[in-house]
Amino acid sequence: MEVSQEIGEAQINQQFEEMLSGCARCTDEGKVMIRKAFKVAYDAHKGMLRKSGEPYIIHPLSVAKIVSHDLGLGAKSITCSLLHDVVEDTDYTLEDIERLFGEKIASIIDGLTKISGAFDNKSSLQAENFRKMLLTLSDDVRVILIKIADRLHNMRTLHSMPPHKQMKISSETIYLYAPLAHRLGLYSIKTELEDLSLKYRYPKIYEELSQKLKQNEHERQAFMEEFKRPIEERLKSYGLKYEIEGRHKSIYSIWQKMQNKNVPFEEVFDLLAIRIVFDPDDRLPEKTQCWNIYSLITDIYMPKPERIRDWVSTPKANGYEALHATVMGPKGTWVEVQIRSRRMDEIAERGFAAHWKYKQTTDQESELDKWLKQIRELLEDPNSDALEFLDDFKLNLFASEIMIFTPKGEIKTLPANANALDFAYHIHSEIGHKAIGAKINHKLVSLHHLLKSGDQVEIISSDKAQSRIEWMNKVNTAKAKSAIKAYLKGETKNRIEKGKQILDQKLEAIKLKPSNRIFRKLLPNYEVASKDELYSKIAIGIISLDDLKKVLKKNTKNKWIRYWSLQFKADKDSQQELDELDEQESTPKKKKEPVYLRESTESNELNYTIASCCHPIPGDEVIGFKDDYNQIIIHKNKCNEAVKLSSSYGDRIVDVLWTTHKIYSFLIKISLSGSDRFGMYNDITTVITKQLNVNMRNINLESHDGIWEGTIELYVHNTKDLNNLIMNLGKVKGVNSVKRVEKIKT
């Protein structure tokens, strides 16, 4: 076998035996199948190397090890892990796999194999691939588990990929795979995916936080030992069998808290945590034992009441069970304490796989079962657009949930930001369509009232009511959005057909036929985004076609004149030339990378558009996205919308480079605070307008009890000007804090 010098054949075989020895659930028959799969994969990938230079077989071997050791899955899953790239990357076909390993293995491999072929240019290949993978969820959830393991190993070896691939893959990971791992209860994998994604999206931030954690590691370990000692003594005195370990929050979790609360690393709340895993006493319920241990701990350390999280009474929707509390430790430091039984811990670490193991003891349908049922409902629509599905699926990956009671006392689980209308659609689509109001805890409220955990909700409906398009922006759950979309599609289908007939008749009256060229005139003139919107507005009378001739003649160019004249000829040559013109018009221009973000010295125009969601300025780390009209939209790398676009439209992301910007100014917003004194307002405005010659759009400063704070919106050329502004304002007497605000209302 041709292998790299670093890893030889003997080492590969050794890694395989180590993986196989850790397969606790494998029978002798299963191990025979795994050895057969390894041989097939070994021969199929012979001579193939990964970007890192190691033999390709190392990748399926590593995925199989994650599936076996971390997820605890059995022989079929390990077999599929070893074979998951064989059909895509070698001469083997699905028929070969079915002949060698059976129909079930072939079905799972099919779900793991990427789609090949062309798609509509408005579609996303990544979205189609993800949707196809989830289609197999209807039959076997192991497809998803293996895919997550595959993504985890790819992230572990992402260093060998070029930077633009690192950004694409890490963005896709944080947008879809980490939330999916969380939803399936795979907490350790979810945490590692988040950290690795941060490492490649923001390497400087990741390295800085890593160094800060390393700097006080010995001090932190000493503190944790001091914190655990009295707890261990108390637990031992009660004869409890347990394990206790200390840890710090993940790097991604620390960074997220810094972002959400706008605080530095040193001010992150409850950075430290301990986990207590106990062997339960069969004579007492596990829930009771969790609270008993909590009582023992709070006899030692004072708890923070509002930070108690009781997931033993009501488990999370992904099956997670634990009791969390935050207590005040030595030296005034808050520490999070997690209390779990051995069963709870296995479900937390292995998620869905452990869920099925323990489900055998009960017939009750879990929240995880209900979630899977919702995903299957989304998948049942054969006409759904892949990107719409992806967005709907993303909505179903909610990490925080609330428990809502029906009038009969039944509990329903919804995302934390759900409103009464979401609840109506959660009960049944028809109830949602007919809803006109709601009673929450017997008080009449609107359908858009946000729900809180523990609310009792009754939906008020009317047979005359119906879904409205504005509801799409009011609901927050995938099920509600999907139901409203389906309803509106049915309502608008007839309008679209009617509008199409009207337009065709109008064009025929002036001896024209519908074409790309004509629609390129009509859509912008009538301010619509698509043909369907045009047809629909024609049908209901919003758009009148009385001025059709005038619209088609507007801003006519030579090429358009030629096109117009050809429409009135019926000969073969004219039709051929007409087709060529249409083809030229619809052929997309080739990409030119990298794109330089420049400004014109003659017209002060930009060759790009600044995204309104994150307002980047020259000097910020950015990416470019080509929209349907080939226009480049600039986003900050860390913008949530940029992460979503990188995940869904990787092929439209382009490398962009700032050039010198001295003509065009960009709107930014800064927040300031400090101690009040006479003349403060004047000193701040003097620095901005006179010393730095910066134009302000809006200033809002308020003073109370000797402290002032506020915001200023102004225009700068680039980050150098911004940093200079912040530095000079920071020198003003009484100014304590100056920061850039990421979100601006325009």
Where in the sequence numbering do the catalytic residues fall?
88-89
**Rounded (10°) angle between helices 94-101 and 103-112:** 150
What φ, ψ does residue 208 adopt, rounded to 5°?
-65, -45
Rounded to a whole number of angstroms, the distance between the first and last alpha carbons of the chain is 62
Contact 303, 324 (CB under 8 A): no
Which of 710, 695, 719 lies closest to 636, judged by CA? 719
Other Cβ atoms less than 10 A from the Cβ of 64: the count is: 31
Phi/psi at 391 (5° precision):
-65, -45
Phi-psi region of 371 (alpha: psi -120 to 50; beta: other; left: phi over 0): alpha
The tokens describing 33, both together, are: 């199948």
Q: Provide the angle, in degrees to the nearest 10, between the axes of the packed helices 75-83 and 58-65.
A: 160
Alpha carbon distance 613, 625 (integer Å)? 14
Task: Return d(Cα 617, Cα 665) in angstroms, integer.
Answer: 9
Alpha helices in 312-385 (DSSP H): 342-350, 352-359, 367-379
Residue with tokens 């069998």: 241
Which contiguous run of DSSP H or E holds residue 252? helix 251-261
Residue 600 sits at the vertex; the CA angle it makes with 597 and 606, to the nearest 5 degrees, is 50
Q: Report the C-alpha gap between 556 and 539 in whole angstroms.
A: 28
Cβ 292 vs Cβ 235: under 8 Å: no
3-state secondary structure of 693: coil
Helix (H) or strand (E) holding 497: helix 478-509
Residues with Cβ < 8 Å from 364, sequence gap 6 or more?
none
User: Smallest Cα–Cα separation from 139: which of 60, 76, 193, 198?
Assistant: 76
Q: How far apart are CA 346 and CA 146, in angstroms?
A: 18
Cα–Cα distance, 69 to 325 (Å, whole number): 30
Question: ω before 594 within 30° of 0 (cis)?
Answer: yes
**Of 387, 285, 283, which Cα lies nearest the Cα of 343?**
285
The tokens describing 59, both together, are 């990748």
Report d(CA 127, CA 141) in Å as an integer. Answer: 18
Positive or negative, the CA dihedral 57, 59, 63, 68 is positive
Q: What is the DSSP string of 300-326?
A: TSEE-GGG-EETTTS--TTS---EEEE
Contact 609, 631 (CB under 8 A): yes
Residue indicated by tokens 């003891």: 361
Q: The tokens of 85 are what?
A: 């790239």
- Whole-number Å distance between alpha carbons of 77 and 746: 52
Amino acid (one-letter) located at 518 = I
Tokens of 636: 């900050």
Distance CA 633, CA 642 (A): 10
Residue spans of beta strands (DSSP E) within 492-557? none
| Contact between 46 and 2 (Cβ < 8 Å) | yes
Query: CA geometry: angle at 218 spanning 216 and 219, to 5°?
Result: 65
* Contact predicate 153/82, CB 8 Å: no
Alpha-carbon span 150 to 227, nearest angstrom? 38
The CA angle 203-205-209, to the nearest 5 degrees, is 115
Residue with tokens 């909700």, as numbered in its chain: 457
